[in-house]
Amino acid sequence: GHVNPAVTFGALIGGRISVLKAVYYWIAQLLGSVVASLLLRLVTDNMRPQAFNLAKNVGAGHGLLLEIAVTFGLMYVVYATAIDPKRGTIGSIAPLAIGLVVGANVLAGGPFDGACMNPARAFGPALVGWRWDYHWIFWVGPLIGAAIAAVIYEYIMVPTVPFQTHPQNQPLVAEDY
């Protein structure tokens, strides 16, 4: 399983999970985020959790583009190492590859908007701390990025159904040389 609604959305767009399963995942992911944020508030003497937000001089458009880009990278690696049934034995490196991409994305995007990549990770602290500034960016960006990665991986880069070639474009047989 996974704990990221954007990854769930990408798998749904790519046809790898059903709508019903996606809804169950989303409910569990969001409830988990809220419970974790409530526990954090409990153990920190009622401090309000910090929500994701944009750094000074980073506009909403730039934050949105950054979230699309970092989530695209994450989702593409998730597809290549964990979701694609044609991956062979590469699935054994999925946790390492995904972790490295998340780390690289946080190093690259963290100073600008936190490099959220996970709407559930943004939702729990925003709800418990009641901090909603630019919260929409941390939903819209990851969902768009995950959907683009799923479509590109599933239908362009590694399609499950091979492209139908036109009869005129068949390779020449040896006798035709």
CATH number, position 44 = 1.20.1080.10
Amino acid 131 reads R
Name the token pair of 6: 């954007």
- Per-residue pLDDT band for 1 (boundaries 50, 70, 90) equals low
Domain-embedded: residue 66: yes
Among 90, 121, 130, 86, residue whose Cα is nearest residue 7: 121
Domain-embedded: residue 171: no
Taking residues 72-92, what's their average pLDDT? 83
CA distance 12 to 68: 17
Give the residue numbers spanning the domain of 133.
5-159
Taking only the tens place, the pLDDT of each residue in 20-53 is 999 999 999 999 999 999 999 999 988 888 888 9
Higher pLDDT pick, 47 / 85: 47
**Least confident among 32-36, 90-94, 153-157:** 90-94
Domain-embedded: residue 170: no
**Least confident among 16-25, 45-54, 99-108, 143-152:** 45-54
Domain-embedded: residue 59: yes
Number of domains observed in the structure of the chain: 1
pLDDT at 91 over 80: no
Domain-embedded: residue 165: no
Of the chain, the percentage scoring pLDDT greater than 90 comes to 71
Taking residues 134-143, what's their average pLDDT? 96
Q: What is the pLDDT of residue 61?
A: 95
Domain-embedded: residue 28: yes
Domain-embedded: residue 140: yes
DSSP string, 63-101: HHHHHHHHHHHHHHHHIIIII-GGGGGGGGGHHHHHHHH
- Per-residue pLDDT band for 167 (boundaries 50, 70, 90) equals low
Domain-embedded: residue 51: yes
